[in-house]
Amino acid sequence: MSWHGFEERSIDLARADEVEAVRAFLARFDLSFDASVDYTVALYQGRTMVATGSMAGEVLRNIAVAADMQGEGLTARVVSHLIQEAGARGIFHHFIYTKPDAAHLFSALGFKEIARAEPYAALLESGLGSIAEHCKMLAAQVADLPPGPRAVLVVNCNPFTLGHRAVIEKAARENASVVVLVVEEDRSLFPYADRLRLVKEGVADLTNVRVLPGGKYVISAATFPAYFTRGEEITKAQTRLDAEVFGRHIAPALGATRRYVGSEPYCAVTATYNDAMLAVLPRYGIEMLVMPRIEVEAAPVSASRVRELIRQDGWDEIAKLVPETTYRYLRAPETAAVIERIKTSQSRH
Amino acid sequence: MKTAQAGTLESSDIMITLSPQEPGDGVKIDIDSNVLHQYGEAIQAVIASTLAEAGVKDVWVKAVDRGALDYTIKARLLTALDRARRAA
């Protein structure tokens, strides 16, 4: 298709030369091309690339327009193209993650700002569904919890250990009620459905604790791609943005004024995330409590240690680190495929 | 009916997304426009009357308008409706 002398062409992500052209174009804007995208489009004037944009799931990213072509409506062309392509894939809600000084370009296209972390990043959304509707649903899901101080934990639990149990138990003792949000993004070695089930089973006896899906606004590919892509440079930006979304929207919807986290001696990204929350959450009146990890035989209990022990078949050791419910799951015949995947995977997640 | 969309975000156009709702939910129209202040009600009226003519009762319409004229709005809405029905 060609209007106004511009031609839209989708990039063949399997072809190194086409990907390289996009990479070189983005480099002019200090943007890096993330190979995990599902789809990329570029606009050309003759043979010259003048604009590009990509999407990964419902996240639109890497949108850039050549400096001498700005004001020609090319951003609208790129975003329209991506939204149409998303629609063909059944995706009708979109996030844009951008620099705060570019946010207005997308506001003009109907995107609403969810949060920003100056000077690093802003997160916007458009389409069917919004954070306001999500928050309404969250509020309804905790409406029957006892009144009084309420705490939140956001957990991945890959898988659920006695360490997670200890932090949740402490929060349940110190507050009238506790909401546990389980990260929904399915990029960990243990599937989301299993992680959620193990948390529910592991705290079933704590009557003032409610376990809920984390949803797409809590440590998701939208709020927090660095957690999954490990770009060290952008980790600070994204941890702050995620903390902003939590402080501004999620915590108020849940009626929570405290967030509990376990201390993180091993994972740099999680440690940076904890720092970001300490910097951001108090501004929203949310107290952040860091709890030291519990130890078994002088070593901190952690899910990554459990995964390491799975690779070594250290089942006696594992039994000391996880509750009965998790241990039974790990040994169940229907979990064999997951266990096999962990043994052959080098992933730390 | 299934969720469907039509149109673009380019100047003088409108992007319309339709999502079927449960019977009895009625028509919900959300409009975002750079001329909402002056023309919001007019856009709303075009969408509502076009839906009524097409006999659509329970639907969520999300429109992002960039200054589209009435017949553009109508054309985009009918295309989205056609796609929504064909997808079913």
Selected residue of A81, A92, A111, A133 to mutate for chain B interface (largest B Cβ count, 10 A)? A92
pLDDT tens-digit map of B39-88: 999 999 999 999 999 999 999 999 999 999 999 999 999 999 999 998 65
Residue B17: count other Cβ atoms within 10 Å of its Cβ: 24
Contact at CB, B3 and A79, closer than 8 angstroms: no
Instruction: State the pLDDT at residue A239.
Output: 85
Instruction: State the pLDDT at residue A32.
Output: 80
CA distance A333 to A127: 42
With an 8 Å Cβ cutoff, the interface of chain B facing chain A consists of: 3-5, 8-11, 15, 17, 19, 32, 34, 60, 62, 64, 66
Q: Say which CATH number the domain at B61 has.
A: 3.30.230.10
Contact at CB, B8 and A77, closer than 8 angstroms: yes
Instruction: State the pLDDT at residue A65.
Output: 94
**Overall number of domains in chain A:** 2
pLDDT tens-digit map of A28-79: 988 888 778 999 999 999 999 999 999 999 999 889 999 999 888 999 999 9
Contact at CB, A128 and B4, closer than 8 angstroms: no
In Å, what is the CA distance from A84 to each residue of A93, A197, A211, A279, B9? 11, 36, 36, 39, 10
- A175 with A64, same domain: the answer is no
Choosing from A103, A129, A155, the residue where a domain stops is A129
In Å, what is the CA distance from A219 to each residue of A106, A131, A211, A215? 23, 14, 16, 9
- A299 with A169, same domain: the answer is yes
Domain encompassing residue A212: 132-344
DSSP state of A318: H
- A213 with A303, same domain: the answer is yes
Q: Which amino acid is located at A260 in the chain?
A: Y
Domain encompassing residue B25: 4-87
Confidence of residue A221 (pLDDT cuts 50, 70, 90): low
In Å, what is the CA distance from A277 to each residue of A109, A274, A283, A321? 31, 5, 10, 27
- A206 with A269, same domain: the answer is yes
ipTM metric: 0.91
Region at A41 (left for phi over 0; alpha for psi -120 to 50; beta for the rest): beta
Best mean pLDDT range from A94-103, A293-302, B57-66: B57-66
Provide mean pLDDT across the span A231-255: 87
Provide mean pLDDT across the span A2-23: 88
Asked if the structure places residue A349 within a domain, the reply is no
Nearest to A87 among B5, B9, B11 (CB): B5
Q: Can you give the C-alpha Rg of chain A in angstroms?
A: 22
A55 forms beta bridges with A39, A60
| A–B interface: beta-carbon pairs under 8 A | 43
**Overall number of domains in chain B:** 1
| Residue A306, min C-alpha distance to chain B (Å) | 43
Q: Say which CATH number the domain at A252 has.
A: 3.40.50.620
Bond preceding residue A292 cis, omega within 30 of 0: no
| Nearest-10 crossing angle of helices A192-202, A162-174 | 50
